[in-house]
Every structure is written in structure tokens, then in C-alpha cells.
Amino acid sequence: MHSHVVVWMDHQEARIFHIYGGGSDQATITSPPQSTHHKHSIGDEGKLDPADDTKRFFHEIAGLIGDAEEILVVGPSKAKLEFVRHVHKHHHALEPKIIGLETMEHPSDAEILAHAKVCFKRMLR
């Protein structure tokens, strides 16, 4: 079981880091391109609902972080807040695990991990 997870996200991708013992694992999920349109089975025939793509993106992220004890969500845009709202509505078990929501531009993977480790230590005090 992973005890700490940090998710850096914007509307194009999510970089997920599971932090454990002496190391970490990383996964990247990309959202469907906003210009890609296809018919969805729900809704009026011929109407496109890009919100369905966003929901699938958020569901996929939630599925990868479900084993965390603590989750830090960071990123440059409002996607992180939209994701937390999605968790509140659809993934109730994850909600109390989210211990932080922070703005963070476009850091390297090493910068994300270093920031997360500092935050998790600070929050454990």
C-alpha cells in the first residue's frame, strides 16, 4: 500500500507520484485532446459533451490514487479544484485523504517530489 501520493495536474495531463519508503513510482495520464469530438451515447443525438471526457480523465486519476493514505493535489490551473469537486461528488472515500491543494506551475518531476516530501513531513507534525 502506498501511503503518500502527489498529483500534479492541468487540463492536459496528470502526473501521479506514489511515494513510499525510499523511493517513488510515477504514472502520467493524458486527457483527450479538446479538439477531438465524438458522439456520446448520453444526451441529445449529435450533441457533443466534452464534460464526459473530463469525467473519464478524473475517474482514471481517482482509480490510480485510491490506495493512498494521504494525497496532495497541485497544479497551475483550475483543473485541480475541478478534480477535488469531482472527488467530492463521485469518490467519497478519497475526499478525506486529500490533505492539500496547492498552486504549482510547471515543475520537473524532481521538484514535484521534493515539494511533496516537505509538505507531507510538515503535515505529519
Domains, the chain, ordered by start: 4-31+50-124 (3.30.420.60)
pLDDT at position 43 is 53
| Structure confidence at residue 10 as a pLDDT band (50, 70, 90) | very high
C-alpha cell read off for 15: 502526473
Mean pLDDT, rounded, of the chain = 85
Contact 10, 79 (CB under 8 A): yes
Residue 13: all three cell numbers together? 495531463
Look up residue 25 and give its three cell numbers. 513510482
**Site of grid cell 478524473:** 58
Burial (0-12, 13-18, 19+ Cβ within 10 Å), 28: exposed
Helical (H) or strand (E) element with 53 = helix 50-65
Residue length, the chain?
A: 125
What confidence tens digit (pLDDT) does each residue in 13-68 have? 999 999 987 788 999 999 877 554 455 555 555 555 667 888 999 999 999 999 99
Q: Which of the 8 DSSP states describes residue 104?
A: -
The amino acid that residue 11 corresponds to is H
pLDDT at residue 124 in the model: 52
Rounded CA-CA distance 107/90 in Å is 29
